[in-house]
Structures are given as C-alpha cells and as structure tokens.
C-alpha cells in the first residue's frame, strides 16, 4: 500500500530555544483534563467577590416596602411627596441604593419586611382606596388594629363585597394582578329576573358591550328565589364593572355581587369585615415564596428589641423550627377607624 507523507505542522524550536514548561497542576496536584475546557476556565476565574447591592428604581423600592403599588408610588413622587437624601423628587426616573435616605411624607422609609398576604371580607358600601375624594368610608377606615401598612390586590366596587386580598408588598400585589397569572375570579351574583342556561350562554361565548370586548366567562345557574336568581360566574380578567355591564346587556339587573374566590384563595366562612393571614405553608405552595412564620417573625422582633446593636448581632432564635402547621391562622375582627 502506498504511503502518503502528510506535512508536519507542529511548531519547531529554533536553535538555542528552550522547551516551554508544562502548566503547573492546580493546588492538590490534580491537573484538569484537556477535554474539559469549561471546568478549566472556571478554575481560572478570580475568587467570587460579594455582589454589590444592586441599584433599583425608587418606585420599585417603595412598592416593595409596602408604601403603594409601583404606579401609585410614581404618582406620589410626581406629587412631590418623596425626598431622596434631602432633595425633593419630581420624577420617578431615579435609582437608589442601600445608603440612600428616602422619606415619604416626611417619614423615613421602613426596612422592607418579608411579603405577607391576608384574606379580607370586604363589606358592602366601602371604597377600595386609601382616600376618597367624596369623603366616603374606605376599607382602610375599618381594618382591624395591628395590621402593617397594606395595599389591595385588585379592587371591588363600592357595592360589591367578598374576598379581597391584602399584602404588605407592592411587588407581590403587581405579580398577583398580572393577566398572565390567569387566575380565576369566582363570584356569586344575585340578579333580578328569570335567567336560563340559554340566556346566560352569551357570557360563555364572550361579549362586546359598548365597544369593549369581554372574554368568555364560566356561568352556572344556581337557583331561582322569587323574582331573583343566584348564578355563579368565573372570569380571568377584571375590567371595570364587567359582570354588571355584561348582565345588564342581557337584560338583568345585579342587586348583589360577592367575590368568593381569587385563584387558589377562598372566602370560605370569613365574616364580613374580618381579616385572616394566609399561612406561610400556603404561600410556599401556591406562590413559591419563602416567608416568615408568626413565630419566626416574633423571634426577629424580640431580637431587635433585645439587641439594638444592629442587624449584625446574632439572632438567638434564627434556627427555630417552622411551626406553620402547628399554629392556626388568626382571624382578626374589624374596628371602626384605622386610616393608614
């Protein structure tokens, strides 16, 4: 068989040149194999340094601290209610870091607490806002004592009642309100008239009312009660007065509307005006959030009282067990006035 001489492309050493030394083995005497370039590159990187605190938009920081939603925080900034390092802000296009001093209405911004969530049974006749230009009572006028500053997840009309979620975390509020969550909102509706399954079918097919398109709803007729009927509706969006407008377009008048579910959370037997915190185990399961249990929160508060040296001081109860399952949620009754 004929042999073909291939050119030798290996570099040659000139006369007097020394052979290059072999790369030293890593500490411990083990050399990385040539077939693992990724591992080799990783071993050559400088030791990881602690990541500097990331600068964030000030509206996001205010939202996480539970002051307001991000959008409402931007309005507060534009209204001149927020100062940064002694300067009154007029635009939310500002980033801040841990060393910045933020005041809202002249008060220092509190350190953000871990996210918490509450179920609240909103009564009929209360406005779902912190302030009302007409002077009407708001839900915040009637929340029980002991709650931190909270914001609502979504809204309910003045004459609507039922489940309203409250949170101390503006980012969690925004996350739960996003359409991509596709959470089903369930309502029990009492309407004047005699509906049938056929008359409710347009709700299931989707409707256009006054030029606005409503997505299909789940509709089920419960029972007729004299001149009124009870129906159960489910929808995944929350346009203004959507249920009332859709039923009015079908010839029915809504005289009572109760939200009984918001995603995985249910109104259950919660009395009107009462508040109940969602357990840490439920927050982990449904939202993927690691939150403090009531016992851990109490330990943290006790450590802060007993050791005013600051966050670097040891927390004697930091390694305590999670007692979420053993400690029942506390239902808090309402009071008359508690404006945030």
* Complete domains list, the chain, with CATH: 56-108 (3.10.290.10), 117-277 (3.30.2350.10)
Most distant pair of Cα atoms in the chain: their distance = 111
> The dihedral of CA 78, 104, 158, 287: what is its sign?
positive
| Active-site residue (options: 157, 319, 322, 323) | 157
Instruction: Decide if 141 is catalytic.
Output: no
Of 87, 79, 89, the C-alpha closest to 57 is 89
Q: CA 61: distance to chain centroid? A: 13
Tokens for 293, please give them: 């249990």
| C-alpha–C-alpha distance, residues 156 and 338, integer Å | 19
DSSP 8-state code for residue 134: T
pLDDT at 45: 35
pLDDT band of residue 81 (cuts 50, 70, 90) is: very high
Pairwise pLDDT comparison (115 vs 11), residue with the higher score: 115
User: Are the C-beta atoms of 143 and 339 separated by less than 8 Å?
Assistant: no
The average confidence (pLDDT) of the chain is 78
Cα dihedral 115, 120, 126, 131 in deg (nearest 10): -10
pLDDT computed for residue 238 by the predictor: 77
Tell me the C-alpha distance between 158 and 163, whole Å.
13
Take residue 187 and report the two structure tokens written for it: 């309502």
Q: What is the pLDDT of residue 199?
A: 96
> Which of 77-91, 150-164, 170-184, 319-333 is predicted with the least confidence, judged by mean pLDDT?
319-333
How confident is the model at residue 25, as a pLDDT?
Answer: 43
The token pair that represents 308 in the structure block: 């005013």
Q: 83-87, 122-126, 319-323 — which is least confidently predicted?
A: 319-323
pLDDT of residue 30: 41
**Prediction pTM value:** 0.64
């Amino acid at each position: 068989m004929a042999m073909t001489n291939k050119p030798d492309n290996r570099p040659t050493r000139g006369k007097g040149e020394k052979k290059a030394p072999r790369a030293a083995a890593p500490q411990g005497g083990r050399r990385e194999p040539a077939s693992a370039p990724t591992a080799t590159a990783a071993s050559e990187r400088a030791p990881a340094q602690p990541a500097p605190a990331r600068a964030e938009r000030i509206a996001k920081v205010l939202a996480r601290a539970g002051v307001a939603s991000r959008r409402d925080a931007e309005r507060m900034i534009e209204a001149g209610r927020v100062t940064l390092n002694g300067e009154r802000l007029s635009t939310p296009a500002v980033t801040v870091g841990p060393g910045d001093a933020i005041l809202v209405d002249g008060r220092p911004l509190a350190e953000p607490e871990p996210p918490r969530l509450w179920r609240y049974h909103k009564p009929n006749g209360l406005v779902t806002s912190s302030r009302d230009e007409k002077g009407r009572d708001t839900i915040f006028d009637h929340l029980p004592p002991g709650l931190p500053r909270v914001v609502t997840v979504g809204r309910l009309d003045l004459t609507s009642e039922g489940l309203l979620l409250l949170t101390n975390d503006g980012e969690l509020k925004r996350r739960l309100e996003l359409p991509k969550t596709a959470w089903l909102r369930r309502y029990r509706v009492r309407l004047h008239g005699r509906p049938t399954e056929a008359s409710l079918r347009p709700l299931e097919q989707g409707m256009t009312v006054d030029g606005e398109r409503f997505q299909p709803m789940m509709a089920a007729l419960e029972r007729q009660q004299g001149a009124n009927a009870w129906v159960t509706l489910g929808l995944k969006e929350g346009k203004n007065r959507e249920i009332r407008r859709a039923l009015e377009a079908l010839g029915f008048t809504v005289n009572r509307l109760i939200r009984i579910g918001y995603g995985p959370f249910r109104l259950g037997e919660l009395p009107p005006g009462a508040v109940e915190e969602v357990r840490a185990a439920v927050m982990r399961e449904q939202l993927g959030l690691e939150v403090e249990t009531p016992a851990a929160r109490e330990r943290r508060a006790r450590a802060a009282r007993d050791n005013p040296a600051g966050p670097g001081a040891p927390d004697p109860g930091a390694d305590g067990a999670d007692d979420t399952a053993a400690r029942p949620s506390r239902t808090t009754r309402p009071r008359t006035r508690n404006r945030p």
